């Protein structure tokens, strides 16, 4: 595969070599089922529980509060459906979330609405930040669950989770607070910032771990109804044989991410700012969200007169990888719900492109993007200005 400038880290990150090394024994000789009683099973169980301790430390929870899942979306589903059902939201109870959450939250919220729950979607501003006044208005005594993400998965804006938690505790102290922290782990002190939340979702492949592995922190005493039942694994909250190798890889990646976060943030911020400054020189560029309140790796823009799909194809042809919308919505005809919630028109939303950097991003990646993007934009605009050919 030829060298590319990979600027789609918000979609997925390269597997850290250290994570692969940690996983390898559990893909080969330490192959036992951790639910068993014999020595081979116990070896796998030991690895699983050491990983649980490491993940708990990285996320600011106790080992007994970590539930391993198949990824961030499953963790979100377990949090939203599990907490709401445990609180009895099949009746006329309220669930509050934002209009620009990840679909892993919005889809289960819609299911709850179909079951009779009163689901309220709080608006967000053009700055990409949840409207706290509207949130306060939405919190009535029937509220059983509030879900507000820590970092938006498309525009990268950091939500004021401390202020959200303060409102929830003041107005509906019995309500459960969930946060999707999937996009936050590489950039923010997640253990500290998510401390006020009762439920916290993360996904390994967003910070150098393997795909198909995630975790939900479930604070002690928080009621949750299981979604996957049967074997009783993960304290009965997520039945099924645990992916031990994947969990071990996630733990290794999380430890490294936490250890190197400060240095990575400083280096990637400089790269992102250089990329942003170069793209700002292109006529008709628009930046989405308050960039002073976005994580280091995210730069989200649109170029007048250029459709995102066409631009991404042109960039890929020249070895630059970026994305339109969230990775889960790639290929969808509908414009981004995140951007329309922020006030963009459907056409404007269809033009939006996300450049996202990560721990492995380099100066060469930025140089390549700054060489290719302006040329691609100019070429696409030139084609758009050409008169249509009339067939004879």
Q: Which residues are catalytic?
A: 328
Secondary structure, 3-state, 216-274: EEECCCCCCCCCCCCCCCHHHCCCCCCCHHHHHHHHHHHHHHHHHHHHHHHHHHHHHHH
Q: Where are the alpha helices (H) located in the chain, listed in sequence order?
A: 17-27, 39-59, 72-86, 103-114, 132-138, 161-171, 190-193, 244-279, 308-317, 337-341, 346-350, 363-385
d(C-alpha 5, C-alpha 11), whole Å: 14
Calculate ∠ Cα 358-359-365, nearest 5°: 60
H/E run at residue 158: none
Specify whether the CB–CB gap between 144 and 157 falls below 8 A.
Answer: no
Angle CA(67)–CA(70)–CA(76) in degrees, nearest 5? 70
Cα(170)–Cα(149) distance, rounded to whole angstroms?
19
Cα 390 to Cα 239, 291, 387, distances in angstroms: 62, 45, 9
């Amino acid at each position: 595969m030829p060298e590319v400038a990979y600027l789609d880290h918000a979609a997925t990150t390269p597997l850290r070599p250290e994570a692969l090394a940690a996983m390898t024994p559990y893909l080969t000789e330490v192959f036992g089922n951790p639910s068993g009683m014999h020595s081979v099973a116990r070896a796998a169980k030991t690895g699983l529980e050491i990983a649980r301790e490491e993940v708990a430390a990285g996320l600011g929870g106790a080992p007994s509060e970590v539930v391993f899942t198949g990824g961030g979306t499953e963790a979100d589903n377990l949090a939203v459906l599990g907490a709401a059902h445990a609180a009895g939201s099949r009746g006329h109870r309220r669930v509050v979330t934002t209009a620009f959450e990840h679909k892993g939250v919005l889809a289960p919220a819609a299911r709850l609405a179909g079951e009779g729950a009163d689901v309220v979607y709080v608006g967000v501003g053009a700055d990409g930040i949840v409207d706290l006044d509207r949130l306060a208005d939405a919190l009535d005594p029937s509220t059983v669950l509030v879900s507000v993400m820590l970092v938006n998965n498309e525009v990268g804006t950091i939500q004021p989770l401390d202020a959200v938690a303060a409102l929830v505790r003041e107005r509906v102290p019995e309500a459960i607070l969930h946060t999707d922290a999937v996009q936050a782990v590489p950039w923010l002190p997640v253990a500290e910032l998510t401390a006020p939340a009762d439920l916290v979702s993360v996904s390994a492949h967003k910070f150098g771990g393997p795909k198909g592995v995630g975790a939900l922190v479930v604070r002690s005493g928080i009621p949750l109804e299981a979604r996957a039942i049967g074997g009783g694994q993960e304290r009965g909250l997520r039945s099924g044989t645990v992916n031990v190798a994947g969990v071990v890889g996630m733990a290794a990646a999380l430890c490294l991410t936490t250890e190197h976060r400060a240095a990575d943030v400083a280096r990637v911020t400089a790269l992102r700012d250089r990329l942003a400054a170069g793209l700002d020189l292109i006529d008709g560029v628009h930046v989405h969200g308050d960039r002073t309140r976005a994580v280091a790796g995210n730069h989200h823009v649109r170029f007048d007169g250029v459709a995102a799909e066409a631009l991404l194809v042109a960039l890929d042809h020249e070895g630059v990888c970026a994305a339109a919308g969230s990775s889960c919505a790639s290929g969808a005809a509908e414009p981004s719900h995140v951007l329309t919630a922020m006030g963009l028109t459907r056409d404007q939303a269809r033009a939006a492109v996300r450049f996202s950097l990560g721990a492995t991003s380099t100066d060469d990646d930025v140089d390549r993007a700054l060489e290719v993007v302006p040329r691609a934009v100019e070429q696409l605009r030139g084609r758009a200005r050409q008169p249509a050919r009339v067939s004879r």
